[in-house]
Amino acid sequence: MEAVLTKPVKETVKTTGADAVLRVLVEEQTEFIFGYPGGAIMPVYDALYHYQDKIHHVLNRHEQGCIHAAQGYARATGRVGVVMATSGPGATNLITGIADAMIDSTPLVCITGQVGSHLLGSDAFQETDIISISMPVTKWNFQVTRAEELPAALARAFYIARSGRPGPVLIDITKDAQFGDLDFLYKKCQEIRSYKPVPKLDPNQVKKAADLINEAQRPFVLFGQGVILGKAEKEFKAFVEKTGIPSAWTLLGLSALPTDHPLNVGMLGMHGNYGPNKLTNECDVLIAIGMRFDDRVTGNLASYAKQARVIHLDIDPAEINKNVKVDVPVLGDCKESLTELTNQVRMNSHAKWLELFRKHDALEQETVIQDEIKPATGDMKMGEVIEEINKTTKGDAILVTDVGQHQMMACRYTQFNQSKSNITSGGLGTMGFCLPAALGAKLGAPERDVIAVIGDGGFQMTIQELGTIFQTKAAVKIVILNNSFLGMVRQWQQLFFDKRYSSTELENPDFVEIAQGYGIKGQSISERSALPEAIETMMKHDGSYLLEVHVGKEDNVFPMVPSGASVSDIRLS
């Protein structure tokens, strides 16, 4: 792809490749670099010494922590997260986070050092072909071997990462390119020939979609993260309010519409709400907006919404007809698409259809939810911890979750009033995501409360990032829901493998003492009566805080769509 660049904005400056990297980051208004130094990236770190008044470097304790922190920052701010690591193991330790960012459409620019260009292919110390390794999980990658290539390569990297459907980009820089000289002149990239990140909106497709919606008796909206990425929350709200269509969210779409909005009918998917799953197979028009019909939402595709006409609004042509056959595709930026669509649809209410969702809600409330958020006896439950957090935050906090039972409980029960408030690993399901991502989110949104809700298993995967929280003094509130199990795997073992709990029970350390070793205050509770005061103490504490809550060891998450089943087969118990 050949970059088309804007006119020069400054005179050239004679400098080094390493210094050029920092100059580009300043031009791109980079606030934070999440990084870990090493031999092959040392020239850039030496140059960084002179930019400490312009860019904050966050020294994570592991490269996986670097990239998850950058993801948390990007998701909380909508800006490009920047990551830096050395060659070999430094670069390969980023791969899990890069894959996570790719599938969850998170904009990142990852900068890795590399051995000198004369050593490429020689199996030199800490040499790894990170370009080949990262190619399947990046939106674009490029290896820089000459200093003069750096400004254009990095300009292109930022443009590709943030444009269209966002994603991660990796720039690998050989050590001699970092030491080399160049005449620096930065030209921000605004276009690349052959790369068209935003399809042109087709008015005919918008009209076809509007006609279907206007004729529908039981329309149903599924909204995903595309609404948030497209900064189209206002336009989406206007669309659903004009049409009166019940709307359900994917895991990453959560918070695009306030949780208590009367047309928000809940969560889709394997552990989503009863009504949205059941009624997917009863709607007559299905309107998917900025979501990709992944398997956790659809269940068995052979029986998914076969009765419905499907409208799909998306910015990525690759998602159209990938999993679900679409009757009316509407390609384009959903901010524009929704505006045009809203102009053409009729005012409606669909009150009887919405009431059917409410009847399913009532059944789920009686069968599942009441016992989760207000249990009368027994061990504490994850749902009641989330409910207590809701009382304190009143829906205004950023919630960051790891992966597992606690993730499903937190996403099901947390109240959100504003967008960019739910940060989790959706498509890849990366344990260890939460703690560093919460750090990145807090640095990106220091004015907001950031609460990391995490399981005892995932916490120990990146527990070393307590050191980064300590050093940055980021006021992250950490809630460990400790059931001494790898809970989601244990649930499947209970339900589908005759309770053969193979390698899922955990013997855990004293998490509070570990946190105290990092200068982080905390407490551990196991009694229900202590919960309200413990949450209040955590939220009022000036600084980071760790609260460990011991919950039932063998509690399960319901509703549940069994693997391979239809969404209509969702179980309440």
Q: Which residues are catalytic?
A: 63, 125-126, 175, 488
293: tokens are 């019909």
Q: What is the DSSP string of 491-548?
A: HHHHHHSTT---S-B-----HHHHHHHTT-EEEEE--GGGHHHHHHHHHHSSS-EEEE
Strand partners, 220: 286
Cβ-in-10-Å burial (0-12, 13-18, 19+) of 219 comes to buried
352: tokens are 């009887």
What is the DSSP code (8-state) at residue 143? E
Q: What is the DSSP string of 248-295?
A: EE-TTTTTSS-TT-TTEEEE-STTS-HHHHHHHTT-SEEEEES----H
Residues in the chain: 573
By the 8 A CB rule, do 37 and 89 touch?
no
Q: CB within 8 A of 271, min separation 6: which ones?
A: 408, 412, 557, 558, 559, 560, 561
Question: Residue 475 half-sphere exposure, CB side, CA atoms within 13 Å?
Answer: 13
